[in-house]
A and B are shown apart, each in its own frame.
Chain A
Amino acid sequence: MKPKAATIFTAYLLLAPALVLMLVFTFYPVLYGAYLGFTKYTAANLGSNTPPTWIGLENFRTVLSDELFRIGLVNSLKYLIIVPILQIASLAVAVLVNKQLPGMAFFRAAYYIPVITSISLAAVMWDWVFTREGLLNWLLEFFKIIDPSGSFGWLLNPNTALWAIMLVTFWRGFGYYMVLYLGGLQSIPSELEEAALLDGANAWQRFWKITVPLMRPTILLCSLLSSLAAIRVLEEILVFTNGGPLNSTYTVLMYVYQKSFGLDFDYGVASAAGLLLAVVGFVLSYINFRITREDPPKREAKA
C-alpha cells in the first residue's frame, strides 16, 4: 500500500528542521570546501574581496608533488594500526563489564573518564608519562626491560613518537567504544545465550557464534568511526609534537591545518589535500563494509 500524500508531507515537515540545519552547516560547507579544492583561494582574496578562481587540478598537482603531503599520508595510514587493537580491546572489555557482578558500574564509569577529559589536560598528564624521567621509562626500568642509560623521551624519538601518540588515542577512545559495544551487547536477548549454554557451548564458542555475529552492526559502526578518526587525527599531534620529531608524527590533517591556518592561508591547496584525504576515507569505509558485511545465509538442503 502506498502511503498517503498527507503522511509523506508530514514526514518531510518533521524532518525539515534537521534537514535545513544540515544543509546550512554540513552539506553546503562540504560542497563549497570541495569546490575550493579546484580554485585559487588565499587570504589575499579576502583582502581584495575577490571570489575564488577556477584552476582545475592545479592544487592537486601541488599537493601530490609535495613531499610533506606524502609523509603525512604515510603517517596517517600508519595510524590505522590502532583501529583493530582499539576495537578488539574495547569489545573484549565491554563483554567483561557486561557481567552482572558487584562493582561493574564502577569500572564502566572509570573506563569512560578519559573520554570526557579535555585533551589539554591529558597532554600534561601524558607528558609526565613519556618524558625521559617519566613513568613509562620508570616502569620499563623497574621490570628490567631497558636499563637507565637507555632511557629516552618517547615523544622525541622519531621511532616511537607516533606510537606514543597512538597510545593516547587508544586511551581516549577506549571508553567511548566500550560504551557503544555495551549498548550492543545489552540488546542481545539472553535467551540465545541460555539456549547455547544448554546445548553445551563453552564461553569461547558462545562469544564467537552468538555475540560476534549479533554485534556485527555495532562492530561495523565502531570500526568505521575509529578508522575515520584515525586518518583524521590532529588534536593529539598538535598538543604533543606539532608533527615532529623529524616529521615522524606529521599527518595529513597537520598538512591541511598548516596550509590553511599557518601563515600560508592557502585555502585552495588545503581543500585539495582535504579532498584527497576524503577519498582515502571513502575507500576505508568501503573496506570496512566489505569486511563486516553479513554473509548471505547458506540454507542449501544437504542431501
Chain B
Amino acid sequence: MKKRWLLLASAFGALSMAALAQNKVQIEFWSWYLSPKFDPYLLGVIGEFQKANPNIEVKLVDKQDTMERDLQAAIALGKSPDVVNLWQDATAAAAQNNLLAPINDLTPMNQLQAQFWNNTLGMFIVDGKNYGYPWYGWTDQGVMAYNSEVLKKAGITKVPTTIGELLTASKLIKQRTGSYGWLPPVKDPNGASFLGQFYLEGLPLFANGKAAFNSGKHVALLQKFIDLMKGDFIPQDLLRKEAFQLNNEYYSQGKSAFIVGGAQALVRVKDANKDIYSKTKVVPAPLGAGGVQTGGSMSLVIPKASKNQKEAALFAMFMTNNKAQVQFAKLAGIVPTTKGAENDPDLKAANPNDALDVATSLVSGTGRFITPGWNPPKNTDAVYKNFNDNIEAAFLGAKTARQALSDAVAFWNANAK
C-alpha cells in the first residue's frame, strides 16, 4: 500500500517537473561582434545564470554589421529579442524612437547605482530615463603601448607623457626610422573624432549651449595635425579608415611605434605578431592639456516589444555584474563599468613583463573616469557627417582650418537637434 502511494507521489513529482520544464521562460540575447572569439565566455556566464535561475533559458545570438536593422525588423515582425547589446548612439536613437523599455521600471534605481558607476549609467539616459545597463567599457586613451625596439632605433630615451611630447616623438621616429609614431584618430566614420582632440586639450566645445569649437586655439590645434599629415608624420589613410583598425594594422606590421587606447588593442597585436608583442612595453597613456580621458561603454537594452522583460532585466543585471565583467576584462582587456573592479585582486598584473597583463591592470580601475566628453546631438548622422566633411576638407586643403571649423560650427548650430 505504502509502495503504491510512493509510486503515485513520484509520478506526480515527475509530472510537475516536466510541467516546470515546459514553463521555462526562454529569452533571446543578442550580442554584437563577439562571436566566435568570446563564445566560450558568454556561454559560461549564461550557464551560471541558468544555474541560478533554473526556470529561465537564454538563447545567444551574435549580430554583427546589421545589428540595428535586424533589431528593427525583428520588432516589426513581432519577434523581438529580449536583451540586446547596443552602444551609446544606438541606444539613444532606439530610445528616442520608442523601441526600448526604461530600465528603471524593471530594476530599482538603488540596485543599478550599487552595481554601476554613475558616469556609465548616465551615458544611457534619454529624456530623464535610463535605457541601458552599462556593459563593458573602454577608454580611448587608457594605456600607451610602444615598440621598444623602434624607440631605441630612433634614439628616444624618454617615453612621452603628454600628447604634445607624443607628437614630437612621432615626428622624430618618422624622420629617423621611416616608421610612423602614433596614428591619432582624426576622422573616424562613426563619430566626430576631432572633437575628442579638442576635448583632450581642454578646449571648450560648447558655450551657452551652442557649438563653439572655432576659436583661434581650436584652429591652431587642427592646423598642427594638418601639418603633421602634410609632412607625412601621420598617414593620410586616417581620413579613410578607423584609427583603431589602422593602429592595429600598422603596429602589428612594425610600421608604427605607439598604440594609445584600451588594453583590447593589444589582444589583437598578440594574435597577429608575437615578435612585436614581446617587444611591447606599456605605460599609462599620455594626456592632453585637459588632463582628461574619453571613453565609452556598451549597453544592454531591453526592447519594449520583449515579452519577458522581467526575466530579461534579471539576465542583463547578471551579465553586467562585477564578477562577469572582471572575468571579461581578464580575457579581453575591457574596462569594467562596475563598482569594485578597481580593487579586484584578479585584475592586478600577474606578470609585469606581459604587456596585456600590465595594460589590463592599468585600465581596470578606470571605469569611473569613462566619459564620452560631450553629449551627442540627437541627429548625429547629419551633424557628424558635416563635421567630418569639414575636417576632411581642411586636411585635404580644400578649405583652410579656420574656414572648415567656422563652417562646421555654423552647420552644427543651425541643424543640431
Interface residues of A (CB under 8 A from B): 42-44, 46-48, 131-132, 153, 155-156, 158, 240-242, 244-247, 258, 261-265
Distance, CA A244 to CA B385, complexed state (A): 11
Cβ–Cβ contact B99 & A43, under 8 A: yes
Closest to B393 in A: A246
Closest to A161 in B: B240
B217-247 vs A, Cβ < 8 Å mask (1 yes, 0 no):
0000000000000000000110110000000
Cβ–Cβ contact B236 & A156, under 8 A: yes
Distance, CA A90 to CA B393, complexed state (A): 38
Cβ–Cβ contact B237 & A131, under 8 A: yes
Cβ–Cβ contact A263 & B389, under 8 A: no
Distance, CA A258 to CA B239, complexed state (A): 19
Cβ–Cβ contact B72 & A265, under 8 A: yes
Cβ–Cβ contact B237 & A156, under 8 A: yes
Cβ–Cβ contact B396 & A48, under 8 A: no
Distance, CA A153 to CA B235, complexed state (A): 10
* Contact with A264, one of B99, B304, B381 (Cβ below 8 angstroms): B381
Cβ–Cβ contact A44 & B382, under 8 A: no
Cβ–Cβ contact B239 & A156, under 8 A: yes
* Contact with B389, one of A44, A131, A246, A265 (Cβ below 8 angstroms): A246
* Contact with B381, one of A153, A158, A258 (Cβ below 8 angstroms): A258
Distance, CA A219 to CA B222, complexed state (A): 52
Cβ of B398 under 8 Å from chain A? yes
Interface of A is mostly: loop
Q: A156-B236, A261-B69, A264-B382 are in contact. Are A245 and B99 (CB under 8 A)?
A: no
Q: A43-B72, A156-B237 are in contact. Are A263 and B89 (CB under 8 A)?
A: yes
Distance, CA A158 to CA B236, complexed state (A): 13
* Contact with A242, one of B189, B304, B398 (Cβ below 8 angstroms): B189
Closest 6 A-B residue pairs measured CB to CB? A47-B98, A43-B97, A263-B381, A47-B99, A262-B381, A44-B97
Q: A47-B304, A263-B93 are in contact. Are A245 and B72 (CB under 8 A)?
A: no
Query: Which residues of B, 268-309, contact A by the 8 Å Cβ criterion?
Result: 304
Cβ–Cβ contact A241 & B240, under 8 A: yes
Cβ of B62 under 8 Å from chain A? no
Cβ–Cβ contact B93 & A47, under 8 A: no
A residues less than 8 Å from B392 (CB atoms): 244-246
Cβ of B68 under 8 Å from chain A? yes
Interface centre among A42, A48, A155, A265 (most CB of B within 10 A): A265
How many residue pairs link A and B with beta carbons under 8 A? The number is 70
Distance, CA A153 to CA B89, complexed state (A): 32
A residues less than 8 Å from B97 (CB atoms): 42-44, 46-47, 265
A residues less than 8 Å from B72 (CB atoms): 43, 46, 265
B residues less than 8 Å from A43 (CB atoms): 72, 93-94, 97, 99
Nearest-neighbour CB distance to chain A for B338, whole angstroms, equals: 28
Cβ of B112 under 8 Å from chain A? no
Distance, CA A137 to CA B209, complexed state (A): 48
Cβ–Cβ contact A245 & B98, under 8 A: no
Q: A242-B189, A247-B389 are in contact. Are A263 and B379 (CB under 8 A)?
A: yes
Cβ–Cβ contact A153 & B237, under 8 A: yes
B residues less than 8 Å from A265 (CB atoms): 68, 72, 93, 97
Cβ of B75 under 8 Å from chain A? yes
Nearest-neighbour CB distance to chain A for B248, whole angstroms, equals: 14
A residues less than 8 Å from B413 (CB atoms): none
Cβ of B380 under 8 Å from chain A? yes
Cβ–Cβ contact A155 & B398, under 8 A: no
B residues less than 8 Å from A244 (CB atoms): 239-240, 389, 392
Cβ of B96 under 8 Å from chain A? yes
Distance, CA A161 to CA B69, complexed state (A): 29
Nearest-neighbour CB distance to chain B for A229, whole angstroms, equals: 22
Nearest-neighbour CB distance to chain A for B414, whole angstroms, equals: 14
18 example contacts (A-B, Cβ-Cβ < 8 A) are as follows A44-B96, A46-B75, A47-B97, A47-B98, A132-B236, A153-B237, A156-B237, A158-B396, A158-B398, A244-B240, A246-B392, A246-B398, A258-B381, A258-B385, A263-B93, A263-B379, A264-B379, A264-B382
Cβ–Cβ contact A263 & B380, under 8 A: yes
Nearest-neighbour CB distance to chain B for A154, whole angstroms, equals: 11
Nearest-neighbour CB distance to chain A for B234, whole angstroms, equals: 13
Distance, CA A247 to CA B393, complexed state (A): 10
Closest to A153 in B: B236
A residues less than 8 Å from B99 (CB atoms): 43, 46-47
Cβ of B1 under 8 Å from chain A? no
Nearest-neighbour CB distance to chain B for A258, whole angstroms, equals: 7
Distance, CA A242 to CA B385, complexed state (A): 11
Cβ of B76 under 8 Å from chain A? yes
